[in-house]
């Protein structure tokens, strides 16, 4: 089978291999990891005929430049609106293009979005840990963080016709997040709970794959400054002793001893990660039953969307 080989010319911080993640390991201290924007990752793979959770390269605002050393392969870029330059041709994210030996390929920050996904029409050869190539950034376990000079191989490389990809409305950055209050709402004074819902909140530059600190009103803790360490989920809004909330994301620590004032609905998190430092965000508290109904509705809608993408892929020429 054909193979394409790439050399990393430049990689910004936090550019790493990600895939569908390794869920189910939290009891061993291992978060699921995987894409910060899991939907964009899945759609990049589906656009090039790969399983939705196949390994891809997640590109941060620091950007990425690859040189194709040999072979040729089609690729898809999804996620935020990044600038894509392929062999001197100007392109954009949400496109399928082909790269061949001797060409350089660059993905860099565009007018919105924080993460882009580069999927190959082939099998990116990446180290796996516990069955997944997702990189746990704090440990570099999994496929790993990309560094200049590295070579990456794509096996079973295929060619697809160039095309634009439909970008779902839900892929845009999301500034209003549904939350269920708690599980430690009882650790906060009523005024703190009101201040949390009222905002305004802004993302700070202190963010990475583990989580992002917000700027806004101080959320005074009651007497319970710390609780026995308990499990954390992606989307937990944890408040440390300084009264500053942190939204925990793909590589979150699995347990923590600071109270969680609220938890963001899972479906809101992918688009939330496409916000940049300085962007505003607000929280809309809803009840647990309403949250479950909304979660179910969105899970069904997302499954339908992916099914349509797969159908379109099967129907596409070439």
Q: Give contact residues for another protein (rule: CB under 8 A).
A: 23-30, 130-131, 136, 138-139, 141, 179-180, 182-183, 227-231, 233, 235-236, 253-256, 263-267, 288-289, 291-292, 294-296, 299-300, 303
Looking at the Cβ atoms of 150 and 255, the one nearer to another protein is: 255
Residue closest to 164 by CA, chosen among 294, 17, 312, 302: 312
- Taking the complex as a whole, the smallest distance from the CB of residue 232 to another protein amounts, in Å, to 8
Looking at the Cβ atoms of 199 and 295, the one nearer to another protein is: 295
Ramachandran assignment for 45, one of left (phi > 0), alpha (psi -120 to 50 degrees), beta (any other) = alpha
Backbone angles phi, psi at 25, to 5 degrees: -110, 10
Looking at the Cβ atoms of 1 and 223, the one nearer to another protein is: 223
Return the DSSP state at 99.
Answer: E
Do residues 106 and 115 touch, judged by C-beta distance below 8 A?
no
- Taking the complex as a whole, the smallest distance from the CB of residue 291 to another protein amounts, in Å, to 4
- Taking the complex as a whole, the smallest distance from the CB of residue 87 to another protein amounts, in Å, to 40
- Taking the complex as a whole, the smallest distance from the CB of residue 179 to another protein amounts, in Å, to 7
Task: Record the tokens describing residue 271, joined without a space.
Answer: 């688009």
- Taking the complex as a whole, the smallest distance from the CB of residue 168 to another protein amounts, in Å, to 18
CA distance 262 to 29: 22
CA distance 75 to 47: 9
CA dihedral 166, 169, 175, 176 (to 10 degrees): -150
Looking at the Cβ atoms of 89 and 301, the one nearer to another protein is: 301
- Taking the complex as a whole, the smallest distance from the CB of residue 284 to another protein amounts, in Å, to 13
Residue closest to 288 by CA, chosen among 176, 189, 179: 179
Looking at the Cβ atoms of 29 and 190, the one nearer to another protein is: 29
Looking at the Cβ atoms of 59 and 248, the one nearer to another protein is: 248
- Taking the complex as a whole, the smallest distance from the CB of residue 202 to another protein amounts, in Å, to 22
CA distance 200 to 238: 17
Question: Angle at CA 207, nearest 5°, toward 202 and 208?
Answer: 150
Looking at the Cβ atoms of 72 and 234, the one nearer to another protein is: 234
Provide the 3-class DSSP secondary structure of residue 241: coil
CA distance 53 to 143: 14
């Amino acid at each position: 089978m054909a193979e394409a080989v790439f050399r990393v010319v430049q990689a910004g911080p936090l550019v790493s291999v990600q895939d569908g993640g390794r869920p189910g390991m939290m009891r061993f201290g291992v978060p699921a990891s995987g894409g910060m924007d899991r939907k964009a990752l899945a759609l990049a793979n589906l656009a090039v005929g790969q399983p939705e959770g196949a390994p891809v390269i997640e590109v941060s605002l620091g950007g990425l430049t690859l040189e194709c050393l040999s072979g040729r392969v089609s690729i898809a870029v999804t996620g935020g609106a990044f600038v894509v330059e392929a062999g001197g041709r100007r392109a954009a994210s949400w496109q399928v293009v082909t790269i061949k030996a001797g060409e350089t390929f660059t993905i860099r920050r565009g007018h919105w979005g924080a993460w882009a996904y580069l999927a190959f029409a082939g099998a990116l050869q990446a180290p796996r840990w516990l069955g997944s190539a997702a990189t746990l950034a704090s440990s570099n376990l999994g496929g790993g963080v990309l560094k200049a000079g590295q070579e990456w191989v794509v096996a079973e490389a295929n060619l697809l016709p160039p095309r634009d990809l439909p970008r779902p409305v839900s892929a845009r950055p999301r500034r209003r997040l549904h939350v269920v209050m708690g599980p430690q709402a009882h650790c906060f004074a009523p005024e703190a709970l009101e201040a949390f819902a009222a905002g305004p909140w802004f993302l700070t530059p202190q963010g990475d794959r583990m989580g992002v600190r917000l700027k806004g009103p101080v959320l005074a803790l009651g007497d319970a400054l710390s609780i026995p360490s308990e499990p954390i989920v992606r989307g937990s809004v944890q408040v440390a002793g300084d009264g500053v909330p942190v939204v925990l994301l793909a590589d979150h620590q699995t347990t923590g001893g600071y109270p969680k004032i609220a938890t963001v609905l899972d479906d809101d998190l992918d688009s939330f990660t496409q916000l940049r430092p300085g962007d505003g965000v607000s929280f809309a508290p809803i009840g647990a039953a309403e949250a479950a109904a909304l979660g179910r509705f969105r899970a069904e809608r997302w499954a339908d969307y992916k099914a349509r993408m797969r159908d379109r892929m099967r129907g596409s020429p070439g």
